[in-house]
Amino acid sequence: MKRRRMVGLVILIVLLILVTSCARDRVPEQRPAPEMVRLKIPESISRGQGKEPVLKVYVKETGDIKELPFEEYLQGVVAGEMKNDWPEEALAAQAILARTFVMEFVSKKGGSKYEGAHVSTDIEEAQAWNQQAVNDRVKKAVERTRGEVAIHNNNYIKAWFHAHAGGMTASAKEGLAFEEDEPPYIKVTKSPDSPEAPEDDSNWTVSFSNQEVMQVLGDMDKEVKEIRTAKVGKKGPSGRAITLKFDGMEVSAPEFRIAIDSTKMKSTLIDSMEAGGGKLTIKGRGYGHGVGMSQWGAYALAKDGKKAEEIVEYYFEGIEIVKAWE
């Protein structure tokens, strides 16, 4: 009897081991592909419901207007906005947002400021574009997400992105001085910006002469005779400066950053600000306005095994990623 019980116990243990092993070896559940939905594609670029649009692109570097299939144009944007040797899922996340940006841009603005074009390669108007940097990795990322766009309440979102969030993303009002209502899909969240990012993107220091600062303030119709004190005024939910104060005079921090040189004053996530010795010295974190997706955050999430759609959904609240065309 004891022997029979012992044999039964051994069989039970073997079965448990087999079940556990099978559970470990089971392929993880795959994320379902985004569904095809009927979205409003602007007439000016439409070739029919569910079909890839065609864009007339003003190329600023040559002054020519090129007619390109949407996805071919998008390859140049992804290569222009992100390094082409980055993880494919980070490039794919960039593709989803870049595609969405164009659809929202053409839907809302109707087209480019350059006559006869739907969009341009002018970064002051739209997105960077570098056809020469397109490689197989970029092509795969664009093809993998073909037709995918991010929407909220069936409308294209404002697909904002930036280089480095400094650990925390921003609201649109604080990061961009956005004058409309705060979009419901924009959220302030921790960003896992990769430690592989350049040190002067994650932590930076810059100095400007008092003369430079006074010139910029004058251009902003905020004249001062000298810079004796400088400090952060109001702050937003991410800790970024909404306003800056120079001798008590308040100015928009995002607007000042653009005016003084946004490649030097890399963000409005300011740790310290000091006037003295004939100069203004600012120390801060991150690179860019901080709204939406952090590219170095996308890099880290992709390295961690996240899919492009998961990366985009991490940075935007309550959105859907759907296919606008096959």
Sign of the torsion angle spanned by Cα atoms 231, 292, 257, 250:
negative
**Which residues, 6+ apart, have CB-to-CB distance to 39 below 8 Å?**
103, 149, 151, 154, 156, 322, 324
- From CA 103, how far away is CA 23, in angstroms rounded? 43
Distance CA 221, CA 253 (A): 14
Q: Which residues contact 235 (CB under 8 A, 6 or more apart)?
A: 174, 241, 242
Output the pTM of the full model. 0.88
Q: Is the dihedral of CA 34, 40, 44, 50 positive or negative?
A: positive
Cα distances (angstroms) measured from residue 182 to each of 27, 176, 291: 41, 11, 11
Q: Name the more confident of 279 and 2.
A: 279
Task: For residue range 63-100, list pLDDT tens digits in order.
Answer: 999 999 999 999 999 999 999 999 999 999 999 999 99
DSSP designation for 86: S
Give the strand pairing for 243-246 and 119-120: unpaired
The answer on pLDDT for 17 being more than 50 is no
Residue 287 pLDDT greater than 90, yes or no: yes
Cα maximum dimension of the chain: 102
Has residue 289 got a pLDDT over 60?
yes
pLDDT at 24 over 70: no
pLDDT band at 5 (very low <50, low <70, confident <90, very high): low
What dihedral do alpha carbons 221, 225, 226, 231 form, nearest 10°? Answer: -40
Beta-bridge mates of residue 249: 246
Query: In terms of Cα–Cα distance, which of 154, 140, 162 is closest to 71?
Result: 140
Alpha helical stretches, state H, the chain: 2-25, 70-81, 88-109, 136-144, 172-176, 199-202, 210-219, 253-260, 295-303, 308-315
pLDDT score at 30: 60
